[in-house]
Amino acid sequence: MSSLGFYLSGRFVPYYGFMIALGLLLNIPLAYIQIRRFRLSIDNFMIICGISGLFGILGAKMLYLLVSVGDLDFSRIKDISYIGAIMRGGFVFFGGIIGLFFALLFCKRRLGITVQPYLQACLGCVPIAHGFGRIGCLLAGCCYGIPYGGRFSVVYTNSGLAPCGIGLFPVQLVEALLEWIIGGCLLAFSPKLKGNLSLFLYLLVYSLVRFCLEFFRYDERRGELGGLSTSQLLGLLIATFSVCQLFKEFQDFYKAKHR
């Protein structure tokens, strides 16, 4: 299966971009329903989304450039078409999450918006959109898994990215399914997850999922330190941070309950 995309009215549409767009478009009504369900301001929601988007793109792109700094041609850095190629190049999801943190801080401190209820209501949309991105990866043949001949293995016959003709573990599909399960749980239980509980639970679970799935990935350029990939190291850091924050949240709840 697969080249990098398909043609729609003569225009090339890459799978990854198409699936991300599809995920975002499906998320708009989902987020709207949640905003109405929690009786929140749609303007504040758009401000938080916009700023999160900007900071997220910046964080994801910066981390990607950091990981692939050796491949950059600094002599062409003033060339606008080269800048365009870099901007279309790639992103690292964990960089986006770091950017998201700064965005939420900015909204809270500089704009005076209480972000907690918006997070509680709409955080589940993030893994759902991300899951669609992973399906895009599966279709395009990037972020592929280790050689594997068992059930549900994927064999690419026409991919410029994945090795063709051998069975591969469908790591992208597994990650997408897990993301949708996480997203569904977050949306379903959002009214019960008070405070920042939903955020730190999501970060903890996703970090652990990603840490484990990285062992099943076979694509190159993962960035490596001490036998672990960049995403695994960041995953461990974020998971540790989330556990500390969850512990703090539970302590606060306990104190409030027994006051």
88 binds another protein (CB under 8 A): yes
HSE, side-chain direction, 13 A CA sphere, residue 18: 16
Q: Which is nearer to another protein, 64 or 180 (CB)?
A: 64
Tell me which of 7, 9, 10, 43 binds another protein, using CB under 8 A.
Answer: 43
Give me the amino acid identity at 121: A
Q: Which is nearer to another protein, 15 or 180 (CB)?
A: 15
Q: How would you class 103 by CB atoms within 10 Å of its CB: exposed for 0-12, middle for 13-18, buried for 19 or more?
A: buried
143 binds another protein (CB under 8 A): yes
**3-class state of residue 14 by DSSP:** strand
Select the span of 83-91, 121-129, 183-191, 239-247 touching another protein (CB under 8 A).
Answer: 83-91
Tell me which of 38, 68, 101, 102 binds another protein, using CB under 8 A.
Answer: 68
Q: What is the token pair recorded at 218?
A: 């076979």
Select the span of 11-19, 145-153, 177-185, 226-234 touching another protein (CB under 8 A).
Answer: 11-19
Round to whole Å and give the CA distance between 33 and 190: 13
131 binds another protein (CB under 8 A): no
Round to whole Å and give the CA distance between 251 and 172: 37
Q: How far is the CB of 97 from another protein (least distance, A)?
A: 15
Element (H, E) at 27: helix 15-37
Q: How would you class 116 by CB atoms within 10 Å of its CB: exposed for 0-12, middle for 13-18, buried for 19 or more?
A: middle
Residues that bind another protein (CB under 8 A): 4-5, 13-18, 20-21, 24-25, 41, 43-44, 46-47, 49-51, 53-54, 57, 64, 68, 71-73, 81-82, 84-91, 111, 133, 136-137, 140, 142-143, 160-161, 219, 221
